[in-house]
Structure 1
Amino acid sequence: MEASQRTRIFREEALRHHAGAQEEGDLLRISPRWTRWTYWVLLALVLSAGLYSVFGTIPEYASGPAVVKVEGRSDLTPQQPGIVASVDVKSGQRVEAGQPLVSFLSQEETVTLERIEREFELQLVRVLQDPTDEAARQSLTSLRAERELAQARQQARTLRAPHAGVVNALRVRKGQYVNPGENVVSVVGDDVRVTLVALLPGGYRPRLEPGKPLRVELHGFSHEYQTLTIESVGDQVIGPAEVRRYLGADSGDALQLSGPMVLVKARIDSPTFTLKGKTFNYFDGMLAQADARVRTERILVTLIPGLKGALGHED
């Protein structure tokens, strides 16, 4: 009785399963395999970033607008107000010294000159008829001076090329009224010198020196950089009004200026520049963005300024 009860402690199914083949299960894997190498990769990246922040540096630039100036150009302006009578040249035309460019109406000057010439001829006849007439001689001398002055005034009503060159800017048309001092036409001579004038923040003046590189990006040529060499740095930090007076009305009005600035000049060796196999000309008044590298600083110091003294000096 007791033996039969012992054999009934387990179910028949359990006994058969226990007596059959046994297969052990695999270990429980909580995380996939890629988390192992990801951990080491992240650890390496963190260490690399830490080392780079300690030893790596970030450059600081003095940035500002710039203007291309073409030197060797003559700007012609009238001395008196008047109406343009004729425009004798075209923009880009080659001209010789003394060649008429723009003429103004000179009716008053012409009438005055004709009157003086008639009086001069009458006095000349009197002197020839009676060489001893001192009054006629004195009157002739006075009329000669008046005639030269009238001729100069009439000639001043015509703007002429001061030297050989190319007409660069023609800003008037026939019939237009022009005030004294307005720029009418410009002539670029054969000996052209192209300069870039950069307007950098005045606070960087102590760090700017001749001979340092100046990176330039011309407007209209995005991400096309040229590297020039600083030729001179202004001794004074000036304001926007003084900068506009220096650049002139044409270039100064095209810029949005604010704050104290210092003038930095860089010479451009050629009147042309080449980008992607194409050659372009520099024109007076072209705008650009200029960047001058003034110092470098460790990345960690930039993030934590309090470490500046502990990690060494800046360049």
Structure 2
Amino acid sequence: MTSRPSPFRKEALEYQQRAHQESGDVLRISPAWTRWAYWLLLGALGCSLLFFCVGTLFEYASGPALIRVEGKTDLTVAFSGVVLTVDVQPGQRVVAGQALVHFASEQEQGTLARISREFELQMVRYLRDPADEGARQALTGLRAERELAQARLEERTLRAPHAGVVGDLRLQPGQYITSGVRALSLLGDDATVTVLAFLPGQYRPLLLPGMDLRLELRGFAYEYRDLVIESVGDQIIGPGEVRRYLGAELGDAVSLEGALVLVRARLPLRTFVREGRTFNYYDGMPARAEARVKSESILLTLVPGLKELLPHDG
């Protein structure tokens, strides 16, 4: 008796049988890497919990700051005229009485030359006749006029009132200036450098003298100076009051907004070193300052309700 042929193709039957065998295999997992991964995850979880329990978050009061050079002398010109020569450069050290700037003085020189000639003529007249009372009186008057002319001529030269280093120089030869214009500044040997930091006013109760203040100069990224706060303002002021305090020259040097408190610190040196080079601090240099005012556990920050379970001081 012959068997009936199958209505399915041989290739289809073989594929079906092979798929059935593969789907019935048991998933095999290596126990070595599962144990390793388990302990790794458990260790990471433990480290995370430990970090949350002992880790601390800090809060900083930060704001703009300015470098101020105290102990400098601003030299102004008491007359109007044209700058003849500038005999010094910024950063140059000078001694007391050294000539810094000469101003055009044709009129004063002409007056002095005229009086000197008249004085010489009267002196010849007096030497010829010592009894000439007119020559004697003329010499007395001309001597006073000559001293006055010499003083006026000397006024056309700006001299250093004391020894120091030339700072902000604002004149150049040929420039016409008016009376009262500041010509340059002179840093004395006792000059000091301070920092004025303008921090947010809401942190005033937390800011105290003796706290650390970190300073970063603009243009010198990651160049930090750790200072100590010397004083903290008693009043919280606005940007307008800060600008009046800084004056017309520096009032717009910093961008200010909101309520502010003035914090002062002192730099130990008048220079700083960056990449092997020495730089001077200059009056009005902008900076950024920050003071650490709060610290709190990460766990308490994430779960504020735990604060109620902890004991509080009195």
TM-score by length of 2: 0.69
Match of 2:175 in 1: 176
CA deviation vs aligned residue, 1:161-209 (integer Å, no higher than 9, x gap):
1211121221211122334544321111222322222222222122111
CA-CA distance at 1:81 after TM superposition: 4.4
What is the distance in 2 between the residues matched to 1:27 and 1:224? 63
Q: 1:47 to 1:239 in 2, by over 3 A?
A: same
CA deviation vs aligned residue, 1:51-105 (integer Å, no higher than 9, x gap):
4324321111111222222223212122444432332222222222222322344
Match of 1:50 in 2: 49
Q: Percent identity, aligned pairs only?
A: 56
Contact 1:57 1:299 in 2 (8 A): yes
Instruction: Name the SS of the counterpart of 2:282 in structure 1.
Output: coil
Match of 1:68 in 2: 67
The more displaced of 87-96 and 298-307 is 298-307
Q: 1:257 to 1:112 in 2, by over 3 A?
A: farther
Q: 1:198 to 1:181 in 2, by over 3 A?
A: farther
Instruction: Name the SS of the counterpart of 1:256 in structure 2.
Output: coil
CA-CA distance at 1:150 after TM superposition: 8.0
| Number of equivalenced pairs | 282
Which residue identity lines up with residue 280 of structure 2 in the other structure?
Answer: Y
2:280 is matched with which residue: 267, 276, 282? 282
Contact 2:69 2:192 in 1 (8 A): yes
What is the distance in 1 between the residues matched to 2:55 and 2:85? 66
Instruction: Name the SS of the counterpart of 1:83 in structure 2.
Output: strand
Counterpart mapping for 1:49-198 below 5 A:
49-105=48-104, 156-198=155-197
Instruction: Name the SS of the counterpart of 2:204 in structure 1.
Output: helix
Q: 1:155 to 1:239 in 2, by over 3 A?
A: farther
What is the distance in 2 between the residues matched to 1:154 and 1:46? 85
Instruction: Name the SS of the counterpart of 1:101 in structure 2.
Output: strand
Contact 2:272 2:281 in 1 (8 A): no
CA-CA distance at 1:239 after TM superposition: 2.7
What is the distance in 1 between the residues matched to 2:220 and 2:176? 37
What is the distance in 2 between the residues matched to 1:152 and 1:268? 42
Contact 1:272 1:279 in 2 (8 A): no
What is the distance in 2 between the residues matched to 1:259 and 1:250? 22
CA-CA distance at 1:249 after TM superposition: 4.4
| Unmatched tracts of structure 1, length 5 or more | 1-24, 121-127
What is the distance in 1 between the residues matched to 2:306 and 2:147? 79
What is the distance in 2 between the residues matched to 1:187 and 1:37? 72
Q: 1:105 to 1:261 in 2, by over 3 A?
A: farther
Instruction: Name the SS of the counterpart of 1:184 in structure 2.
Output: strand
Contact 1:217 1:223 in 2 (8 A): yes
Contact 2:215 2:290 in 1 (8 A): yes
Matched, 1:216 2:194: no
| Unmatched tracts of structure 2, length 5 or more | 1-23, 120-130
Q: 1:170 to 1:46 in 2, by over 3 A?
A: same
CA-CA distance at 1:108 after TM superposition: 6.9
Match of 1:205 in 2: 204
Contact 1:74 1:188 in 2 (8 A): yes
What is the distance in 2 between the residues matched to 1:179 and 1:31? 92
CA-CA distance at 1:159 after TM superposition: 2.7
Q: 1:105 to 1:266 in 2, by over 3 A?
A: same
CA-CA distance at 1:26 after TM superposition: 8.3
Contact 2:168 2:185 in 1 (8 A): yes
Q: 1:81 to 1:242 in 2, by over 3 A?
A: farther
Counterpart mapping for 1:256-271 below 5 A:
256-271=255-270
The more displaced of 183-192 and 104-113 is 104-113
Contact 1:73 1:187 in 2 (8 A): yes
Q: 1:108 to 1:90 in 2, by over 3 A?
A: same
What is the distance in 1 between the residues matched to 2:69 and 2:108? 35
| Root mean square deviation, CA, Å | 4.3
Contact 1:78 1:157 in 2 (8 A): no
What is the distance in 1 between the residues matched to 2:91 and 2:43? 63
